[in-house]
Structure 1
Amino acid sequence: MSPPPPKTLRETADLRHLRQIIGGLDEGVILIDPDQSLLWANAAALRMHGVGDLADLGATVAEYRARFHLRYRNNHRVPPDDYPLERVVAGDDFSEVVVEVTVAGEPEPRWVHQVRSLVLNDADEDAPACLVLIIQDVSARFEAEDRFEQSFNANPAPAVICRLNDLRFVKVNQGFLDLTGHPRDQVLCRTVYDIDVLRAAERRDLAKQRLAEGRTIPQMEAELELPGGGTRLVIVAGQPIDLGDQPCMLFTFADLEPRRVAEGALRHSEERFTRTFQMAPVAMAIGARDGHLLCEVNASFTRMTGYAAAEIIGRPLGDVELWETGAIRREIEAAIDAGHDLRAHEARIHAKDGATIDCIVSTEAIRLGDDACVLWAFQDITQRKATELELVEAIEAVMKDTSWFSRSIMDKLARLRAPQPGVEGPGLGDLTARERDVLALICRGYDDKRIARTLDVAANTVRNHVARIYAKIGVNRRIAAVAWARARGFDGTGVATPPS
């Protein structure tokens, strides 16, 4: 004799009581008969499927499967035998199965359900009396996670996320992979200390303590070790977050390597500049643009002026009384304050022992680190000036009696005395005819007596003409008058002279 068929839940008085118990739950509940028919669903379960009554959900498991298509979060379709309703009927015990639910005929899922099973047996029988599918709508949570995932991956700022319970990386974005050169799969299988994101951190102990406590890690400099060798300087910070239901730490990074490279290049450049500055044969100094304080002097400056570095550094040039006069100092400082660089500016300075030094001064605006500075160069031309003065005096001495010089030598001596030929000021047209005659004879080397005889005038008359010529052309010596005339192409020809 065959055993009686299993008793369905419809034939029991408990169904009404179950409905009363679970009707107001926030979780969706579907009751399934062992014969695979759907007995009842609460309002939450209907709402989670977008239907108004049990008939729209499906009378049987097969109808449900036809009306609603399920896939896992990895986009793989759920096979028919693995539908949660099928697994409940088969007596499987499962929890926290997450599936995406799509209404048949629609292209995209509408909901994300997290489901678990519950099998109720009679106390005196092994066969199940009631099969229950319990559903939670986790669509909002997974939508938020999807948005976070998209934002995290699209963010160019390098970032990684580790779980706090085992410190293993669970997410890494492209920015971090580009920054370090690590392959993605080699990051996600390692821990915070395998790929040490706190390596050489300024406050590593504090960061490790905060990580262990799941608290915010403040920004600090650290060095990321690169897979090919070497390190990369970064600013790292940690922010605790929840990913799913797991506490995690989000590490973000700012790349400081370009700054470190630039600082290294600047440091090497400054070192080369310092060596060149100290070894330069020209006296040089570096001063602050603001206040004209000297910051550094080289050995040539010390040799020229007698001031050791300790005696002059940190002092304004005005206090040192380096310049011959306050007027010279004010003129030079005003030009620098106005943003001008000096080029071959002649000035006199005082050495420590009081000696006067003729210099050509040049300046250049430079930056040392973040400071605006001025590079000074002083070329000592004292000897050259003295030599020029001696040469001029020698020329003047010989030109007092130039009767034995040829005209070409006279021209050369005049040009040497006044090497800038042509120029502004009074011209020959400002002189009278008689004054031009007197000037012509001066250019030919005549003294006052010979000029008087040549022009048949008194010696006093010649002296008066000479005085007026000097006043008009702005000179006070014979050699200067000759140079003035030569510069204008006037050599004294055309004036008749008596026979010797």
Structure 2
Amino acid sequence: MASQLKPLRESVDLRHLRQIIAGLDEGVILIDPDETLLWANDAALSMHGVERLEELGRTVDEYRERFRLRYRNNHRLAADDYPIERVVAGDSFSEVVVEVSVGDDDTPRWVHQVRSLVLNDDDEGEPAMVVLVIQDVTARFEAEDRFEQSFNANPAPAVITRLADLRYVKVNQGFLDMTGHARDQVMAHTVYEIDVLREATDRELAKSRLAEGRTIPQMEAELELPGGGTKLVIVAGQPIEMSGEPCMLFTFADLEPRRSAEAALRHSEERFTRTFQMAPVPMAIGARDGHRLCEINESFSGLTGHEEATIIGRSLAEAGLWADERTRREVEQAIADGRDLRGHEVRIAAREGGHIDCLVSTVSIRIGGDDCVLWAFQDITQRKATEIELVEAIEAVMKDTRWFSRSIMDKLARLRAPQPDENGAGIDDLTPREREVLAQICRGLDDKSIARALGVSGNTVRNHVARIYSKIGVNRRTAAAAWARARGFDGEALIAGRLENGG
């Protein structure tokens, strides 16, 4: 066909045509019907990385030898498919997109969008000149490549649908992993066939915005999964353009972990509530700030006499539960300082009157996002009464110790007075005179007898006894004797030594 076209040089003057197209941003290559490249503007030369027409090629064949073209799908163009060949052959086409590389280098340097133009001779109606019009769309396609790489690599689930027919045109791996769909399955459907707006919070608004190509705000939806069941997500839509076509980018946030966590938390709270209510230990739950109670169990009601109606919404102090102000301050200060109590001995007031001796324990917990305190009480009233009776019995017996051996007296004394801290004072912390007084106490002597034995005044003995009590942390003679014997000191050796020396 090229041999049948009339050469341009014989039919038209190029001078005026060159002047018209020289300053265009689009690249223009003028080709004679005999396949000679007549002229190219600066834009066309720049789009091929050359400065002169000769470098572009003097003929169609030379152009094809110097530049390699391939489609965007990486398929090489056959010789007859080159746009420059097609335009000379008389084909009419528009928006053919090709990647262009130079020589033997297979790496594309430009992306061209090419269209053809045939100028006819008005007198004879035959093609007088063919024109190749080129746009450099490299930057646009590089941006699209970067977007596609980012889109595919992004772990956040996403799909893109074409607004013209609402068919999916892209889907990333995040969406496939989240839903279990296959890529081909998604690409074969529309936005309402694989419904990304199913059960959306404001479905009608989302559908309206999609039809108008406007932003779809975030809303919850439930995607139907191919294997059955649904997945709770947040979906949002953003209008974008892909290859010149209006599209909608849908992005998702998987809320299923949150739903599972909420369900687990709800079940955990239900188990806690059942355990709390059934516990035989009196317990209550209150706010950390203000100590107002929000829940009590049956054991608490049984201990204090308070039902929910009389105490919920009130603090222990407002309900008059604390038997004295000092105890209330101690407990509330410990909670304010962030300390958990363990077996702290307190006295509380029962609603019907009387006092209850308790061991109270507290622990900080969070319920529904609020800082709370879990209270636990142990009734030790009976135990305390038994201890008091035992001490009173011991004191009554020890008023006359003639019928008891020294070992029995020591054991009774230990029951009556707890042992002081082993890390406290020791025998060596007492002065020699204090040790002499303690030795006489261990023999069971009273102050007057000790004064006679040591040859000092009764007032001096009383002062020594007071200092001994203060140092070792006791307040009774029997406790002092028990303290000394627990440390291997009964005073006999000290008294014997004193007698040998004539003391």
Task: State the alpha-carbon separation in 1 of the partners of residues 435 and 65 from structure 2.
Answer: 126
Task: State the alpha-carbon separation in 1 of the partners of residues 386 and 55 from structure 2.
Answer: 117
On the 8 A contact 1:366/1:372 being kept in 2, the answer is yes
The equivalences for 1:193-212 within 5 A come to 193-212=192-211
Give, in angstroms, the shift of residue 386 of structure 1. 1.1
- Aligned counterpart, 1:378: 377
Task: State the alpha-carbon separation in 1 of the partners of residues 22 and 129 from structure 2.
Answer: 16
Task: State the alpha-carbon separation in 2 of the partners of residues 231 and 312 from structure 1.
Answer: 45
- 1:440 and 2:443 are equivalent in the alignment: yes
Give, in angstroms, the shift of residue 52 of structure 1. 3.8
Cα deviation, 1:347-395, whole Å, max 9, x if unaligned, reads 1011112311101111112222322221111111111111222222233
- Aligned counterpart, 1:117: 116
Relative distance call for 1:129 and 1:178 in structure 2 (3 A) is: same
On the 8 A contact 2:180/2:225 being kept in 1, the answer is yes
Give, in angstroms, the shift of residue 187 of structure 1. 2.4
- Counterpart of 1:481 (choices 477, 484, 494) is 477
Relative distance call for 1:488 and 1:225 in structure 2 (3 A) is: farther
Q: 3-state DSSP class of the match of 1:196?
A: coil
- Aligned counterpart, 1:8: 7
Q: 3-state DSSP class of the match of 1:210?
A: helix
On the 8 A contact 2:441/2:481 being kept in 1, the answer is no
Cα deviation, 1:453-485, whole Å, max 9, x if unaligned, reads x99x9xxx9x9999889856669xxx9533442
Letter in 2 for 1:481: R
- Aligned counterpart, 2:250: 251
Q: 3-state DSSP class of the match of 1:195?
A: coil
Task: State the alpha-carbon separation in 1 of the partners of residues 33 and 194 from structure 2.
Answer: 53
- Aligned counterpart, 1:327: 326
On the 8 A contact 1:85/1:133 being kept in 2, the answer is yes
Give, in angstroms, the shift of residue 128 of structure 1. 4.2
The equivalences for 1:84-483 within 5 A come to 84-120=83-119, 128-405=127-404, 409-420=408-419, 437=440, 440-441=443-444, 480-483=476-479
Q: 3-state DSSP class of the match of 2:356?
A: strand
Relative distance call for 1:491 and 1:92 in structure 2 (3 A) is: same
Give, in angstroms, the shift of residue 325 of structure 1. 1.2
Gaps of 5+ in 1: 443-447
Task: State the alpha-carbon separation in 1 of the partners of residues 406 and 50 from structure 2.
Answer: 124
Relative distance call for 1:394 and 1:72 in structure 2 (3 A) is: same
Task: State the alpha-carbon separation in 2 of the partners of residues 45 and 406 from structure 1.
Answer: 124
On the 8 A contact 2:438/2:481 being kept in 1, the answer is no
Q: 3-state DSSP class of the match of 2:323?
A: coil
Give, in angstroms, the shift of residue 113 of structure 1. 1.5
Name the stretch that deviates more: 112-121 or 314-323: 112-121
Q: 3-state DSSP class of the match of 2:318?
A: helix
Name the stretch that deviates more: 212-221 or 390-399: 390-399
Give, in angstroms, the shift of residue 329 of structure 1. 0.7
Relative distance call for 1:487 and 1:56 in structure 2 (3 A) is: closer
Aligned residues: 481
RMSD: 3.7
Letter in 2 for 1:440: R
Name the stretch that deviates more: 376-385 or 28-37: 28-37
Give, in angstroms, the shift of residue 214 of structure 1. 1.0
Task: State the alpha-carbon separation in 2 of the partners of residues 277 and 395 from structure 1.
Answer: 42
- Aligned counterpart, 2:82: 83
Relative distance call for 1:328 and 1:421 in structure 2 (3 A) is: closer
Q: 3-state DSSP class of the match of 1:182?
A: coil
Relative distance call for 1:89 and 1:398 in structure 2 (3 A) is: same
On the 8 A contact 2:410/2:481 being kept in 1, the answer is no
Cα deviation, 1:164-184, whole Å, max 9, x if unaligned, reads 112222122233333333333
Give, in angstroms, the shift of residue 243 of structure 1. 1.1
Letter in 2 for 1:69: R
Name the stretch that deviates more: 295-304 or 386-395: 386-395
What is the TM-score when the length of structure 1 is the normalising length?
Answer: 0.83
What is the TM-score when the length of structure 2 is the normalising length?
Answer: 0.83
Relative distance call for 1:470 and 1:323 in structure 2 (3 A) is: farther
Task: State the alpha-carbon separation in 2 of the partners of residues 250 and 90 from structure 1.
Answer: 42
On the 8 A contact 2:434/2:465 being kept in 1, the answer is no
On the 8 A contact 2:215/2:239 being kept in 1, the answer is yes
Give, in angstroms, the shift of residue 232 of structure 1. 3.4
On the 8 A contact 2:234/2:254 being kept in 1, the answer is yes
Task: State the alpha-carbon separation in 2 of the partners of residues 226 and 213 from structure 1.
Answer: 28
- Aligned counterpart, 2:500: none
Task: State the alpha-carbon separation in 2 of the partners of residues 6 and 86 from structure 1.
Answer: 14
Relative distance call for 1:436 and 1:130 in structure 2 (3 A) is: closer
Letter in 1 for 2:261: A
Give, in angstroms, the shift of residue 110 of structure 1. 2.7
- Aligned counterpart, 2:34: 35
Gaps of 5+ in 2: 497-503
Give, in angstroms, the shift of residue 21 of structure 1. 5.4
